[in-house]
Structure 1
């Protein structure tokens, strides 16, 4: 059983709060490249190690603090792009999840607000802002 074993961890940078927590739990620091359960890695190393060209894959008992292409979900502009692509794919497949109401609003996939990516969408944003200047706007840098 995994619960009876000491987890082995690896880190590619010296973050004392992480290391302290691993050690406090009695986890063992791993010196091998492959014999680890938790790898606390920086984004660049994750991209280098786990890219399609290397063919390197995680084992069933291995966890990372990042995953390749994580920015596709964590960057709001890319998340919107991926959700829109997913919507189109579901519509092409006639998947029930892509159902819309009589006004063309998604019943199940209406999960993203109107999004503007500046500076490219600046004119559209200003037009909408002038129409709805009293509503709350969320601004997040990319």
Structure 2
């Protein structure tokens, strides 16, 4: 990857992450004013659709790709650690680290973020249904 491409990829990752955070803040400000059923629907959309797409594109699609010059295993490990850090609490971080390693390995073996998006979505659906 050329330096210009890396810069654009980093800016894209930053832009995606920032847009995702700002959208979350905006929804948080609005949700207390909506009925509980609508709030649950928005939580579902966020956790089961938006989060898997954005996180797979940023962590496995951009960060892992940029870290590949370090070595494939190191790239998988780096994105998994960064993925874990952005989740809250020790238990959430530990679970996210394992998920990040699995999803990163899947990305590495398939060469695509699509299988990871599907698995990430399925995981979040199961967690949402259980919670």
* TM-score of the alignment, normalized to the shorter chain, above 0.5: no
Of Structure 1 and Structure 2, the greater strand share is in: 1
Of Structure 1 and Structure 2, the greater helix share is in: 2
Higher relative contact order (Cα pairs below 8 Å, separated by 6+ residues): 2
Greater gyration radius: 1
